[in-house]
Amino acid sequence: MSQKNKHQLPTIKARILALKYLPLFLKEIWHTQPWMTATNVVLRLIRSVIPFLTLYLGKLIIDEVVLLINSHSTDTRHLLALIGMELALAMSSDILNRMTGLLDGLLGDLHANRSSIQIMQHAATLDLTQFEEPIFYDKLERARQQTVGRTALLAQTLAQVQDIITIGFLAGGLAVFSPWLILILVLSIIPGFFGEFYFNSQSYALSYQWTPQRRELDYIRYIGASNVYAKEMKLFSLSGFLTERFREVSAAYYLQNRKLAIRRAVWGALLAAVGTAGYYGAYAFIGIETIKGVITIGSLTFLAGSFRQLKASLEGILNRFTTISQGTLYLRDFFEFFDLRPEVISPPKPLPFPSVIQKGFVFENVSFKYPGAERWVFQNLNFTLKAGEKLAIVGENGAGKTTLVKLLTRLYDPTEGRILLEGRDLREYELGELQRHIGVIFQDYIRLMMTAQSNIAVGDIDELNNLDRIATAADRSLASALIKRFPDGLQQVLGRHFSGGVELSGGEWQKIALARAYMRDSDLLILDEPTAALDARAEYEVFQRFAELTKGKMALLISHRFSTVRMADRIIVIENGQLIESGSHQSLMDNKGRYAELFQLQARGYL
């Protein structure tokens, strides 16, 4: 796979460094729900003492039984008291396990919800440019995908703390008897630990390297099963093409994964055998010491039990350490995603948006190329969008019409030159305020598979529940006739994505989208191909209303339809990144330049 970037692989050092994200993560968890986190920690602390107490009680019980047998006594009160205590411990242990499990689950769910919201909120602050970079998407994908992984990480980290305390007690008990046992113990688990650490690194590396392919698989899965593409999938018989690509990529990933899984299983078995041998070595040693009379039978069970428990806990800790350090690498992706900062931002002391626009917008020597692209979309573009003017932009496909809208709304900033509003650079205004004062309906407007009400309210989402306003907007865009036909009126779910939804035609969707423009009382209204899908009558009506409703306001129209374009006060023609003509429909026709040529072409096409 060509996209495998070896140099991007996280090194051991990177993994250790990534541990620094753990405290940040715990802080996140704490903020998710402080009382739940605190209760969880306290319960785990209590739980961590129980194994030691249980083993010690076991020793006391066996010694008591031996004593009773040897002394031929029938006074079992002490024995029963001890057994009762062990019973109480066993029950508390179970209850504590269930409670911590419950809290882990609840906290995990809360954290997953919280972080999903944080990811969406942060993504919304980022630049459009960032969304166009595959590396950004990979990072976002890893941050998003690991939501479940982070939930597990929480349980693992808390269990780790619990086991470390348990180990402290058990190791104390063993050390009192013989420090050698501790040494045997450590030696028997170290090989297994390194094995786990190594294989976990490999598996993270694999999943890291394959993020682009996994994204591609998700994408193919989506296209292959999407209602949006179903008709083309059928008519172009794309299913075979897509499944073949899916098979190819998924099989390659499977093979890599399988190789690793097999190596992991084989080495895991060998290294575990070393650990088991260590345990039985220690067992033999304790057994011999008991026969020699150095320790009691109760101590034999206590030590053997402690040893077994210690081994299990230590293995747990070491294995968990590798899982946690792997988890922290994903945390790194998560926190790095939040470290991404947008570049298109408001200045520290922004200008207030002008209450009345008098001079309009001026493009001053604006040159622009998309980040990473070679080709200039504009070079030294100069024009003015005057106050109160309705300006249409004409240009062939790819001339840069939509790009111009993106620059006006500061989705991008010019590469060179500047755009002025009332004589001041757009970058001096507060970004959010600027964008709120401009209403844009893009060519590829968002089609929410939600109610008609929500779809129209997109134009000013704060007015979601203002039904009067929504109904008026629908009236103005001719969407109201459509809504009357819906069984659920404004509550009708649009699109076929969810049950009960109705699908709309292209023109019907466009009427809904146009209603958004009337939701906002914007100073500048931009319609990018607003009527492309409308029939001739609807187009005529839409524009009649549009002219009335935007009287005195600025509007920018982008259209390939000259019947639309000619309604504008002024038309500019863009070609090869330059403005080549500008004027009213009549003056441009009289000019007999490019506009007149394109107009004639279209007119002939209609004949």
Q: How far apart (Å, rounded) are the C-alpha atoms in residues 272 and 184? A: 14
Helix axes 77-125, 34-70, angle to 10 degrees: 160
CB of 571 to ligand ATP, least distance (A): 14
Q: Which stretch binds ligand ATP (CB under 6 A): 339-347, 390-398, 479-487, 498-506?
A: 390-398
Sole residue written with tokens 């989506």: 222
Residue from 2, 70, 397, 586 touching ligand ATP (CB under 6 A): that is: 397
Q: Which secondary structure element, helix H or strand E, spans residue 575, and what is its range?
A: strand 570-575
Q: Which stretch binds ligand ATP (CB under 6 A): 245-253, 392-400, 414-422, 579-587?
A: 392-400
577 makes contact with ligand ATP (CB under 6 A): no
Q: Which is nearer to ligand ATP, 278 or 395 (CB)?
A: 395
Q: Which is nearer to ligand ATP, 267 or 370 (CB)?
A: 370
Q: Which stretch binds ligand ATP (CB under 6 A): 28-36, 202-210, 279-287, 398-406?
A: 398-406
Q: Which stretch binds ligand ATP (CB under 6 A): 171-179, 293-301, 383-391, 395-403?
A: 395-403
Q: Please enumerate in sequence order all residues whose Cβ is within 8 A of that of 321, keeping only pairs 6 or more positions apart, or say none.
A: 160, 193, 197
Q: Which stretch binds ligand ATP (CB under 6 A): 290-298, 399-407, 429-437, 481-489?
A: 399-407
CB of 396 to ligand ATP, least distance (A): 7
Residue from 156, 299, 402, 522 touching ligand ATP (CB under 6 A): that is: 402
Residue from 377, 526, 557, 568 touching ligand ATP (CB under 6 A): that is: 377
Closest CA to 511 of 537, 495, 494, 533: 533
Q: Are strands 361-368 and 578-583 parallel, antiparallel or unpaired?
A: unpaired
Residue from 136, 198, 370, 486 touching ligand ATP (CB under 6 A): that is: 370
CB of 379 to ligand ATP, least distance (A): 13
Q: How far apart (Å, rounded) are the C-alpha atoms in residues 268 and 276? A: 12
Residue from 168, 347, 398, 423 touching ligand ATP (CB under 6 A): that is: 398
Residue from 326, 403, 409, 550 touching ligand ATP (CB under 6 A): that is: 403
CB of 395 to ligand ATP, least distance (A): 5
- For ligand ATP, the binding residues in 321-360 under the rule CB under 6 A are none
Q: Please enumerate in sequence order all residues whose Cβ is within 8 A of that of 246, keeping only pairs 6 or more positions apart, or say none.
A: 217, 220, 221, 224
Q: Are strands 416-421 and 424-425 parallel, antiparallel or unpaired?
A: antiparallel
CB of 137 to ligand ATP, least distance (A): 13
Q: How far apart (Å, rounded) are the C-alpha atoms in residues 316 and 299? A: 25
531 makes contact with ligand ATP (CB under 6 A): no
Tokens representing 362 are: 């001026």
527 makes contact with ligand ATP (CB under 6 A): no
Q: Which stretch binds ligand ATP (CB under 6 A): 91-99, 241-249, 397-405, 475-483?
A: 397-405
Q: Which stretch binds ligand ATP (CB under 6 A): 203-211, 243-251, 352-360, 396-404?
A: 396-404
Residue from 373, 461, 467, 481 touching ligand ATP (CB under 6 A): that is: 373
- For ligand ATP, the binding residues in 114-133 under the rule CB under 6 A are 132
> Would you state the torsion angle of the CA atoms of residues 516, 519, 523, 529, taken in this order, to the nearest 10 degrees?
10
401 makes contact with ligand ATP (CB under 6 A): yes
130-134's contacts with Cβ under 8 Å and 24+ in sequence apart are: 130/340, 130/342, 132/370, 132/371, 133/372, 134/212
Q: Which stretch binds ligand ATP (CB under 6 A): 31-39, 78-86, 261-269, 394-402?
A: 394-402
CB of 581 to ligand ATP, least distance (A): 15
108 makes contact with ligand ATP (CB under 6 A): no
Distance (Å) of CA 418 to CA 47, 80, 127, 408, 431:
65, 88, 18, 10, 15
Q: Which is nearer to ligand ATP, 328 or 409 (CB)?
A: 409
Q: Which stretch binds ligand ATP (CB under 6 A): 247-255, 286-294, 310-318, 370-378?
A: 370-378
The answer to whether the CB of 559 falls within 8 A of the CB of 392 is yes
Name the strands in the sheet holding 361-368, side by side, starting at the edge strand that comes first in the sequence: 378-385, 361-368, 416-421, 424-425
Q: Which is nearer to ligand ATP, 360 or 395 (CB)?
A: 395
- For ligand ATP, the binding residues in 413-472 under the rule CB under 6 A are 443
400 makes contact with ligand ATP (CB under 6 A): yes
395 makes contact with ligand ATP (CB under 6 A): yes
Q: How far apart (Å, rounded) are the C-alpha atoms in residues 421 and 423? A: 5
Q: Which stretch binds ligand ATP (CB under 6 A): 113-121, 400-408, 463-471, 516-524?
A: 400-408
Q: Which is nearer to ligand ATP, 298 or 395 (CB)?
A: 395
Residues that bind ligand ATP (rule: CB under 6 A) add up to a total of: 13
CB of 128 to ligand ATP, least distance (A): 7
CB of 123 to ligand ATP, least distance (A): 17
390: amino acid identity, one letter: K
Q: How far apart (Å, rounded) are the C-alpha atoms in residues 8 and 11? A: 9
72 φ/ψ sector (left φ>0, alpha ψ -120 to 50, else beta):
left
Could you give the angle at the alpha carbon of 176 between the alpha carbons of 170 and 180, nearest 5°?
A: 90
Q: Which is nearer to ligand ATP, 24 or 123 (CB)?
A: 123
Q: How far apart (Å, rounded) are the C-alpha atoms in residues 118 and 286? A: 55
The answer to whether the CB of 227 falls within 8 A of the CB of 501 is no
> Would you state the torsion angle of the CA atoms of residues 330, 332, 334, 336, taken in this order, to the nearest 10 degrees?
-150
CB of 124 to ligand ATP, least distance (A): 18
Alpha helices of 430-567 — where are they, by DSSP H? 431-437, 452-457, 467-476, 480-485, 506-517, 536-549, 562-565
The answer to whether the CB of 473 falls within 8 A of the CB of 519 is yes
Phi, psi of 384, deg, nearest 5 = -120, 140
CB of 393 to ligand ATP, least distance (A): 8
Please report the sign of the dihedral spanned by the C-alpha atoms of residue 106, residue 112, residue 113, residue 114. positive
Interacting residues with ligand ATP (CB under 6 A) = 132, 370, 373, 377, 395, 397-403, 443
